[in-house]
Amino acid sequence: MSATLLDGKAVAARTEAELSERVAVIKAKTGQTPILATILVGDDPASATYVKMKGNACRRIGMESLAIELPASTTTRQLLGTIDELNQNPDVHGILLQHPVPSQIDERACFDQIALEKDVDGVTCLGFGRMAMGEEAYGCATPQGIMRLLEAYDIPISGKHAVVVGRSPILGKPMAMMLLGKDATVTICHSRTQNLPDLIKQADIIVGAVGRPEFIRAEWIKNGAVVVDAGYHPGGVGDIELAPLVERVAAYTPVPGGVGPMTINTLIQQTVISGERSLGQD
């Protein structure tokens, strides 16, 4: 069996070309450009790298980014105030609060302070609830990116049994709701699930989102499955043991180059959409 490689890097590149044209139209008609505001609290090097990558993605399509850096000593009240200022700034069309924030900050309260129309990372409870109920909202960037990647390769979802391993509020849970919304039968598992290998063996589509390197073993996955690995760990491995699978599954996401590029690309795409709506170009 020759597995289909779900190349997120290639899909993101094609989307960037289209987004560049849309940004050019906005500029030509309004004299303005969509702006993504990023908030980085503290000096975590990995978080700083992710924010830089998102800024670079904005610039590649002609968008602007507004980088806000706050000290590690920032309080919840101070961060809420910063978010309020961005909510009220008509020139800002999307707000990203980089996760994680220092431990003294109530991250959930700060996520939920982001205005729904600027929640382009899909992290608010309101946005999640609307998405889960089939109402309009920006999808959480990583699961929405996965859905776009599956669609780009015409992966059948309706009627399939999807197993999501992970239950985080910004990945596992919205991933399950999005798959359910496309008529998959969904099982949500996690690190404490009993008989986990037996459940994974039933999966037509397996999504690894548990946050542990190669936690999901290749031998647990049946032939012909679609394998989506949303993890990334030192050494270039994900949450799934991929190497033994590439000759016997139907499709798989590489690590790196699969889900990661689609996450950033989805954030940028949703900011462009927000800009089009705000500036009357949708």
What residues are paired with 95 via a beta bridge? 37
Nearest 5°: the CA angle 206, 168, 175 is 45
Tally of CB atoms within 10 A around 52: 14
Take residue 201 and report the two structure tokens written for it. Answer: 């063996």
For residue 76, give the nearest of 104, 96, 56, 100 by alpha carbon. Answer: 104
- Between CA 111 and CA 83 the distance in angstroms is 9
Which distant-in-sequence residues (6+ apart) come within 8 Å of 81 by Cβ?
none
Active site residues: 54, 98, 121
